[in-house]
Amino acid sequence: MVLSRTGIAPDSIELLEPGTLPRTSSGKKRRSEALRRYLAGELRPPKRIRPWTVWLEILRASIGLRLAGRAVPDRRRRSRDEERRDEAAPEDQHPAARAAHTVGAEVSKPLVPPRDP
């Protein structure tokens, strides 16, 4: 049937599981890599991903980051006090924080006064 449809007489036909053929980052098939793996007997389907394996990898990465001294994002919910503090008006803040607000507001003003026509 392959010969009549394509004009090619294959030596063998292999049925592969989805994801077995290697691909580039853009999704194209890497034919030479697939041939090399096939001839070496290394063309195998990818490992199945299960939910628990994903969680295991996340846990391993988190432990690795902690051991390396890097911060792991804190997923806890912010308290009402923290939300109120962040939403506080400049006059409710410490004088240094008010000064920072004022400096930030002045940066958007032009540095050179406009000329009179």
Walk along the chain (117 residues) and give the pLDDT tens digit of each residue.
888 888 989 888 888 888 899 999 999 999 999 999 999 999 998 888 888 888 888 888 888 877 777 655 566 666 777 777 666 655 555 555 555 544 444 444 455 556 665
Tell me, yes or no, whether 43 lies in a domain. yes
23: Cβ–Cβ under 8 A, 6 or more apart, which residues?
Answer: 29, 30
Torsion of CA 41, 47, 48, 51, to 10 degrees: 180
Instruction: Report residue 86 as tokens.
Output: 């962040």
Tell me, yes or no, whether 29 lies in a domain. yes
Q: What pLDDT sits at residue 38?
A: 92
Does pTM top 0.85 for this prediction? Answer: no
Tell me, yes or no, whether 75 lies in a domain. no
Q: What pLDDT sits at residue 47?
A: 82
CA atoms of 117 and 113, how far apart (whole Å): 13
Q: What pLDDT sits at residue 71?
A: 58
CA angle (88 as vertex; 83, 94 as ends), nearest 5: 120
CA angle (48 as vertex; 47, 49 as ends), nearest 5: 115
Count of domains forming the chain: 1
Tell me, yes or no, whether 62 lies in a domain. yes
**Under DSSP, is residue 23 helix (H, G, I), strand (E, B) or coil?**
strand
Tell me, yes or no, whether 87 lies in a domain. no
Tell me, yes or no, whether 39 lies in a domain. yes
Please give the residue range of the domain that contains residue 64.
Answer: 19-68
Tell me, yes or no, whether 98 lies in a domain. no
Instruction: Tell the residue number behind the tokens 């090619």, with chain if given.
Output: 8
